[in-house]
Chains A and B, each alone.
Chain A
């Protein structure tokens, strides 16, 4: 009567990361079918294959089966092992794509994770490494994942399509997470930012800063936007520039927005002034949405809430992003902590939903 937990079956490649991450954390095998089955170019893409390879590197005893066309993936997770790892990410997606999942997995490894990721650090699709460093890292700290070895360092910047960036991420192991009570976002006390430019004139960054400030200064005077101009080997293989903004509140909530220039050879050239202004407006939009966790990290916060002890955690979120919604649905059927469910309350105001993780049985 050997019982191997029956696998879960999904169709389509969307939310592949969430499914695989949750599968790894819950130990339940997954089978994903019909991955771009109708597409002219069927099967898994390079970046997804790279992601699966990364999972294989940080686990021990995983079994991965992909059919010939790459349209079906069977993943039986192994043990999260960690250790020192290096990984070359696909340049189709930025490192943020991989890093987001690593942030979910890193605290639960057997050995502390020290990983070097190479590829694109900033692009227009995924949350950039800058934003994750500014928002996700403080969020993890709220859960008690802290220490000297907890760091995310951008060694080199790489812009699409060439890539060539390098990021170092190390995270200690935490068996027990602290429950969080984030119900009051507080008021924004300062705005920080990072305007970066690689392989273009360093003046670009300054122009971005000026335009972004022109918008944000109407709200708060405490604004400081760093300019980061990388040179030589640290500047990757392709030119580009961009801006990421982070608003910090009195209660330690970080809200972020970012924009990057179009990749070389794709789309029209972007004026740095426009980029700065638009990014500032995006930040305002994010502030308008509110919540104690910014929209990119919602699902991370929810995941860590379920993985904590049996205690009640509370977090106030802005409108849920589609990614988070799907996360919730996926967790429903792939209980990380056994059938952890969220007690979702809608507050009287229109803006927010409050999510409470009840006592999932550890």
Chain B
């Protein structure tokens, strides 16, 4: 048996192995391969025709360049988001089963019910987000826009269904994702042949739709309600190794396929008004491009929103960390589908969600603490806020008397909520915002202050301590950083709850936090709370210092004695102050003046603010009158905004500290000496060090926010007049000269030698850097190329090794032993040498090879590297600030003002997509597009019928006008779209970039019998001026006709109208052309016109004009997601007039003239031709009318008289008639008899004749016989001869 079963070995006939063998065989035979054939028979391969060769070369080059795509910069993220796999197909085709099988294949988990997207880890480098797409056209359109791969299920037993083709068409319009067909229900075929045929037929149809050779997968049958494991496994393999081409729309827009939704609305609001707008957070992987906070997004099916907040979360379905190993272990096979109730632990900004079943990942326990603490802290608050506020005390300076709220009311002008603290070590002044419920912590802060002070003292004593200190600080900082983050988070949370922050506050806060982490020394205050307060204080202190110097120095001298750094800052500020008087302020001055103005505003309440800068300040320093009421708010803002400034100034101070250290230590009051010199120095330095620009630019608040408030708080005199105070520098700023020139404030004295020397190196004649110095480079080159060996002769040429290089070498060797940096430099040198050699080599061999295309590609690659490298080393928090959230991140997006129906009617089966909008894509305007009715759509489309477009992310209903362009560029309105031709369409709707594809459908609701996609096309233009025109004919009638001139009425209503059309071309219906000349006095609107011929009174005159048509401004987004569950595919917008008429049973009253009636034709009657006599006479005879008609009646005289007979005569005539009749009868009979007799006689005669002939014949016979006998005898005798005769 076994032997029988075994196959015999078959030789390979094709493939590489067979070829190799064949080659070897040929070599054995000494025949060789192709190369040798060339050698063997060179003539056969010689150039036959130069022309043909050139042509073939040309062609190969053409083919080669055809393959090139324009190279683009590679922007794919290093950690790509999961691939969106859309499983699509008509109902009952096996979509859910397939998804379940795929999930089971990849994760070994079984999901019973699948709702929404499911994200799974499919391999080391790939994750998949699988989502099911039903046959609701809304869903199909949305998912086609985000799909990377479409698994298109086809019921083979049934064949293709409309949905499949519709979906393919949608895909084609919105960029073509990868499409893989899957045939199911193959087990229903009984005969193998039929199965094969069906497969082939379906495959070829599929190929014509997608592309020839598109992958079509066969799922042969079900086993226990699931597809066969092996087939699913293979399908999974296909999916995991698939490559994708970037799609333009997807790569240029950020988008998210949300896999989770939370309602964040205040429950109280919902309670009071269940229909209130909701605040919603959505979660998902960011795809496409970078997403910025506060950008515009569109949710298909819901509407446009502004992102109120974005934050990134740890990846819930992370790729495996290690890349080395071959396969995933069980722990790494994650599945994440929160809408289906599967997922791991999720960290939110304000909460952690733990799902206990189903997942393996994320079991770090320590991170759960924040919520815990939050709860604790909430529990532990006992007193109310008011009570806390009343009892709270504020310390302005660390050793000053704490101020209570009552002091505030008394003092009025001070800023009671700020607490200034000086960090001696770093020299920063910080402002602490103290508000009511931080009472207990403010107590701590005093302690911290003391600690800081002591630190500062130490610092003064020995500056060398500083570094150690910092290191220590870093150490400790790291230790409690983790804990601190939590605490801070908690605090923020509280704030969030209590105060409605301005939208930008959150992000700023984040930034702040990150900066804290970055700068280690900043964090060395013992408590994190302290950290922030101290920071704030610094800013305040600085500004305060200015005030002290200028206005109320003595009041707060205790603050001065506090620290040296205060003085330092004072000098700086002072300097800024002195210089900022000049009208045009430099960057730093602007900033300084801003600070200054802060002070002013805080000092005097009656000073009014006139510009946005002041508003910023106002925010920072709320009036005492407002303090009590909005204490919390104020302090809140304080934390955010002052810290920006503080950071801004920090660096300057750091710098200053080093410089001034020696002088400052000598005495507290020494700073007063040569103040002006220091001021000048400081100013120059400031001029040179740009302040922390990042903070200046990105830290400030938006402009012109609360202008109205200003007006309210302005002091009024008697309620009537306002005190108009001369605005100060801020006003200058608002209305000053708009000029881009950067004027030099303090020019250098360029006649001085040292000043000149300062820029001498900026010129080529100056000194060059080490690596660019010409002499150096020359020397280096010599070193590189100096030594060479002549291979031919074997001589070794030594480069002229200068004594200096040699000594260098020896020195280096010596040095190497001493310090390792020398070794590094040597290594570098070696590398440099290598690089140079490589460059040389490349230059030598690559020259000429590199084409334009290669160069371009290289450039792009370089740019891609640069892009990557730019932010590589930064942590995500900081990175997000600059480049936005990059694709691949798992983000949480908060959106406000979402209609409540979105939450109430939330159906996880429907995809929620957040599509980022580009620059002006949120705007609405006129869009021109090229459109073609779909060839499978049964009807044609009518202008002004509402239709639903899917363009960009959006689906919306609008009223398009169709037009066609005439040869002269005129855009003529069309009533209907052409049947098989492109036409133009214009509608009023969202601006979408040119070149974007779109499709149109008549209705998204319900099932329509035929193909649903009505038209497709592309956006051409966004021109805002409407140019569509329709034809308008004005008619008039002549009322007086001269020779070629006529007076025409009825075309216009007034002389003015006529005046507008003077010179216009008019025409009669019969084709006589003319021109409008001038208006007539009466009747109104009549005019004189000239024509090329005389008109008739019956003529109608008309003028052809073009009338611009306005596009209806109707834009109605399809809000299908807001419909109740189960009715999401029933959205219907504006109806067409036809639909309305049908619904209401209104019949259109047709114009009577356009009705069809039976055609009644009158008989045509022609008049006879009448030729005048004179003419007749003149005519030649030929043309004269001939009078040969019928003969007329015979005249009476010619007519014979009628004969009237007598009765006797009549009798005679009758008898004669009778007799003649008898006679003729008799004659007739006799003739007949005669005829018979003649016949008889003729017969007899014939008989006789016959007999006679017979007799004669017999006789003649007899005679001839005798004659014959006689002759024979004669003959016989003649034969006998004479003898006989003789006888």
A-contact 0/1 string along B670-695, CB 8 Å cutoff:
00000000000000010111101110
Q: Is B327 an interface residue (CB 8 A)?
A: no
Q: Is A188 an interface residue (CB 8 A)?
A: yes
Q: With A and B bound together, what is the CA distance between A10 and B704 in angstroms? A: 5
Q: Judge whether A219 and B765 touch: CB under 8 Å.
A: yes
Q: Judge whether A10 and B587 touch: CB under 8 Å.
A: no
Task: Name the residue on A nearest B651 (C-beta).
Answer: A346
Query: What A residues does B688 contact at CB under 8 A?
Result: 319, 350-351
Q: With A and B bound together, what is the CA distance between A127 and B739 in angstroms? A: 8
What's the minimum C-beta distance from B505 to chain A, rounded to whole angstroms?
A: 15
Q: Choose among A10, A321, A350 the residue that contacts B703 (Cβ–Cβ < 8 A).
A: A10
Query: What B residues does A146 contact at CB under 8 A?
Result: none
Q: Which residue, of B295, B703, B738, B919, has the highest number of chain A Cβ atoms within 10 A?
A: B738
Task: Name the residue on A nearest B921 (C-beta).
Answer: A27
Task: Name the residue on A nearest B879 (C-beta).
Answer: A358
What's the minimum C-beta distance from A211 to chain B, rounded to whole angstroms?
A: 13
Q: Which residues, 323 to 339 on A, are CB-close (under 8 Å) to B?
A: 323, 325, 328-329, 332-333, 335-339
Q: With A and B bound together, what is the CA distance between A358 and B874 in angstroms? A: 13
Q: With A and B bound together, what is the CA distance between A257 and B651 in angstroms? A: 31
Q: Judge whether B744 and A285 touch: CB under 8 Å.
A: yes
Query: What A residues does B870 contact at CB under 8 A?
Result: 312, 343, 356, 358
Known contacts A188-B762, A188-B764; A12/B735 CB under 8 A: yes
Query: What A residues does B744 contact at CB under 8 A?
Result: 282, 285
Q: Which residues, 28 to 84 on A, are CB-close (under 8 Å) to B?
A: 28, 33-36, 38-39, 60-61, 78-79
What's the minimum C-beta distance from A261 to chain B, rounded to whole angstroms?
A: 17
Q: Is A137 an interface residue (CB 8 A)?
A: no
From A1-9, A155-163, A233-241, the one touching the partner chain is A1-9
Q: With A and B bound together, what is the CA distance between A100 and B738 in angstroms? A: 12
Q: Judge whether A14 and B762 touch: CB under 8 Å.
A: no
Query: What A residues does B75 contact at CB under 8 A?
Result: 310, 359
Q: Choose among B702, B734, B1117 the residue that contacts A14 (Cβ–Cβ < 8 A).
A: B734
From A165-173, A197-205, A266-274, A288-296, the one touching the partner chain is A288-296
What's the minimum C-beta distance from B1244 to chain A, rounded to whole angstroms?
A: 127
Q: Judge whether A38 and B702 touch: CB under 8 Å.
A: no
Task: Name the residue on B nearest A12 (C-beta).
Answer: B734
Q: Judge whether B924 and A11 touch: CB under 8 Å.
A: no
Q: Is A220 an interface residue (CB 8 A)?
A: yes
What's the minimum C-beta distance from B813 to chain A, rounded to whole angstroms?
A: 32
Q: Is A85 an interface residue (CB 8 A)?
A: no
Q: Judge whether B738 and A14 touch: CB under 8 Å.
A: yes
Q: How many residues of A contact B (CB 8 A)?
A: 88
Q: Is A149 an interface residue (CB 8 A)?
A: no
A-contact 0/1 string along B891-922, CB 8 Å cutoff:
00000000000000000000000001011101
Q: Is B1023 an interface residue (CB 8 A)?
A: yes
Known contacts A26-B920, A79-B1024, A328-B693; A339/B293 CB under 8 A: yes
Q: Choose among B293, B303, B763, B884 the residue that contacts A187 (Cβ–Cβ < 8 A).
A: B763
Query: What B residues does A5 contact at CB under 8 A?
Result: 296, 920, 922-923
What's the minimum C-beta distance from A183 to chain B, rounded to whole angstroms?
A: 11
Q: Choose among B290, B689, B727, B742 the residue that contacts A346 (Cβ–Cβ < 8 A).
A: B689
Q: Judge whether B1024 and A78 touch: CB under 8 Å.
A: yes
Q: Is A154 an interface residue (CB 8 A)?
A: no
A-contact 0/1 string along B507-532, CB 8 Å cutoff:
00000000000000000000000000
Q: With A and B bound together, what is the CA distance between A344 and B692 in angstroms? A: 8
What's the minimum C-beta distance from A139 to chain B, rounded to whole angstroms?
A: 13
Query: What A residues does B296 contact at CB under 8 A?
Result: 3, 5
Q: Judge whether B863 and A179 touch: CB under 8 Å.
A: yes
Known contacts A14-B733, A188-B762, A336-B919; A285/B747 CB under 8 A: yes
What's the minimum C-beta distance from A296 to chain B, rounded to whole angstroms?
A: 5
Q: Judge whether A125 and B739 touch: CB under 8 Å.
A: yes
- Secondary structure dominating the interface of A: loop
Q: Judge whether A9 and B254 touch: CB under 8 Å.
A: no
Q: Judge whether A338 and B918 touch: CB under 8 Å.
A: yes
Q: Judge whether A219 and B763 touch: CB under 8 Å.
A: yes
Q: With A and B bound together, what is the CA distance between A38 and B924 in angstroms? A: 36
Q: With A and B bound together, what is the CA distance between A10 and B292 in angstroms? A: 23
Query: What A residues does B916 contact at CB under 8 A?
Result: 338, 361
Q: Is A264 an interface residue (CB 8 A)?
A: no
Q: With A and B bound together, what is the CA distance between A320 and B919 in angstroms? A: 27
What's the minimum C-beta distance from A4 to chain B, rounded to whole angstroms?
A: 6
Known contacts A285-B747, A309-B73, A332-B697; A319/B687 CB under 8 A: yes
Known contacts A4-B923, A361-B290; A288/B741 CB under 8 A: no
Q: Judge whether B863 and A311 touch: CB under 8 Å.
A: yes
Q: With A and B bound together, what is the CA distance between A344 and B687 in angstroms? A: 17
Known contacts A1-B304, A325-B697; A338/B759 CB under 8 A: no
What's the minimum C-beta distance from A62 to chain B, rounded to whole angstroms?
A: 9
Query: What B residues does A262 contact at CB under 8 A?
Result: none
Q: Which residues, 279 to 303 on B, are CB-close (under 8 Å) to A?
A: 289-296, 303
Query: What A residues does B727 contact at CB under 8 A?
Result: 38
Q: With A and B bound together, what is the CA distance between A323 and B738 in angstroms? A: 8
Q: Judge whether B587 and A321 touch: CB under 8 Å.
A: yes
B-contact 0/1 string along A279-318, CB 8 Å cutoff:
0111011011110000110010000000001111000000
Q: With A and B bound together, what is the CA distance between A319 and B744 in angstroms? A: 11
Known contacts A219-B760, A359-B290; A322/B586 CB under 8 A: yes
Query: What A residues does B736 contact at CB under 8 A?
Result: 14
Q: With A and B bound together, what is the CA distance between A106 and B739 in angstroms? A: 20
Q: Is A230 an interface residue (CB 8 A)?
A: no
Q: Judge whether A353 and B919 touch: CB under 8 Å.
A: no
Q: Judge whether B1023 and A79 touch: CB under 8 Å.
A: yes
Q: Judge whether A343 and B867 touch: CB under 8 Å.
A: no
Query: What A residues does B734 contact at CB under 8 A?
Result: 11-14, 34
What's the minimum C-beta distance from B253 to chain A, rounded to whole angstroms?
A: 8
A-contact 0/1 string along B681-720, CB 8 Å cutoff:
0000101111011101110101110010000000000000
Q: Is B1208 an interface residue (CB 8 A)?
A: no
Q: Judge whether A338 and B742 touch: CB under 8 Å.
A: no
What's the minimum C-beta distance from B761 to chain A, rounded to whole angstroms?
A: 8
Q: With A and B bound together, what is the CA distance between A361 and B290 in angstroms? A: 6
Q: Which residue, of A38, A127, A328, has the highest number of chain B Cβ atoms within 10 A?
A: A38
Q: Is A102 an interface residue (CB 8 A)?
A: no
Query: What B residues does A319 contact at CB under 8 A?
Result: 586-587, 687-688, 690
A-contact 0/1 string along B759-783, CB 8 Å cutoff:
1111111101000000000000000
Q: Judge whether B766 and A187 touch: CB under 8 Å.
A: yes
Q: With A and B bound together, what is the CA distance between A56 and B883 in angstroms? A: 34
Known contacts A188-B763, A325-B587; A126/B740 CB under 8 A: yes
Q: Which residues of B contact A (CB under 8 A)?
A: 73, 75, 252-254, 289-296, 303-304, 584-587, 590, 610-612, 651, 685, 687-690, 692-694, 696-698, 700, 702-704, 707, 724, 727, 731, 733-742, 744, 747-748, 750, 756, 758-766, 768, 863, 866-867, 870-871, 881-884, 916, 918-920, 922-925, 990-991, 1022-1025, 1115, 1117, 1119
Task: A335-B919, A350-B689 are known; give 7 further A-B pairs, CB within 8 A.
Answer: A127-B740, A309-B73, A321-B741, A325-B697, A341-B881, A341-B882, A361-B916
- A sample of 28 cross-chain residue pairs with beta-carbon separation below 8 angstroms, ordered by A number, consists of A33-B704, A38-B731, A126-B740, A289-B742, A295-B741, A296-B742, A309-B73, A310-B867, A311-B863, A311-B867, A319-B586, A320-B587, A321-B741, A322-B590, A325-B590, A325-B693, A325-B697, A332-B698, A338-B292, A346-B693, A353-B690, A358-B883, A361-B253, A361-B291, A361-B916, A361-B918, A362-B252, A362-B918
Q: Which 4 A-B pairs have the closest CB atoms?
A: A12-B734, A61-B1024, A27-B920, A321-B742
